[in-house]
C-alpha cells in the first residue's frame, strides 16, 4: 500500500515556505570577530565551527579571542578546550574573567601576527 503522505507533506511545505530554494545543509558564512558565541551552533557542528573559526581568526591576524560556550555541564567547554589544545597557533587559553563570562567563556591567545600590539588585542568589553 502506498501513501500520499510524503507528496502532500512536500506540497504543503513548499506552499508555506517563504524561501523554497533554501538549502538547510548549505554552509552559512558567519562574520569573524574576536568573539564567537556557540549558543546558536548545534552541538553536532561545534567541533567544525570552532576549527573553522580559529583558522579564519588566525588568517585575519586576530590574536585575542573569546569563545562563549556557556556554563551548562561543561560538554561544550571541554570540546572547545580539546580543539584549542591541539591547535598549533593557539599559544594560551583560560577561563574568561567574571565580567566576560567566567567559566562560561574561554579567552584564547593566538600567535601574534607581525605588527600586532598587545593593547589592540583584548576581546573583553571595557566599561
Say if residues 90 and 115 touch (Cβ distance below 8 Å).
Answer: no
Summarised one tens digit per residue, pLDDT across range 74-108 is 999 999 999 999 999 999 999 999 999 999 999 99
Mean pLDDT along residues 53-69: 95
Nearest to 71 by CA among 59, 84, 80: 80
- Flag whether pLDDT at 48 surpasses 50: yes
* DSSP string of 15-38, one letter each residue: HH-S-TT--TTS-------SEEEG
Nearest to 110 by CA among 32, 30, 28, 37: 32
- Number of other residues whose CB lies within 10 A of the CB of residue 107: 19
CATH of span 26-113: 3.30.1370.110
**Banded model confidence at residue 114, pLDDT cuts 50, 70, 90:** low
Percent of the chain with pLDDT over 90: 61
Per-residue confidence (pLDDT) for residue 18, from 0 to 100: 54
Nearest to 66 by CA among 47, 38, 89: 38
H helix intervals, the chain: 5-16, 46-59, 75-85
Amino acid at each position: 500500500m502506498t501513501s500520499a503522505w510524503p507528496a502532500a507533506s512536500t506540497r504543503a511545505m513548499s506552499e508555506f515556505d517563504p524561501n523554497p530554494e533554501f538549502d538547510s545543509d548549505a554552509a552559512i558564512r558567519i562574520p569573524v570577530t574576536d568573539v564567537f558565541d556557540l549558543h546558536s551552533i548545534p552541538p553536532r557542528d561545534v567541533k567544525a565551527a570552532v576549527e573553522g573559526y580559529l583558522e579564519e581568526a588566525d588568517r585575519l591576524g586576530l590574536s585575542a579571542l573569546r569563545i562563549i560556550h556557556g556554563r551548562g555541564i561543561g560538554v561544550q567547554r571541554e570540546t572547545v578546550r580539546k580543539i584549542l589544545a591541539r591547535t598549533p597557533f593557539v599559544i594560551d587559553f583560560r577561563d574568561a574573567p567574571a565580567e566576560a563570562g567566567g567559566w562560561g567563556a574561554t579567552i584564547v591567545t593566538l600567535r601574534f601576527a607581525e605588527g600586532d600590539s598587545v593593547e589592540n588585542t583584548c576581546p573583553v568589553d571595557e566599561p
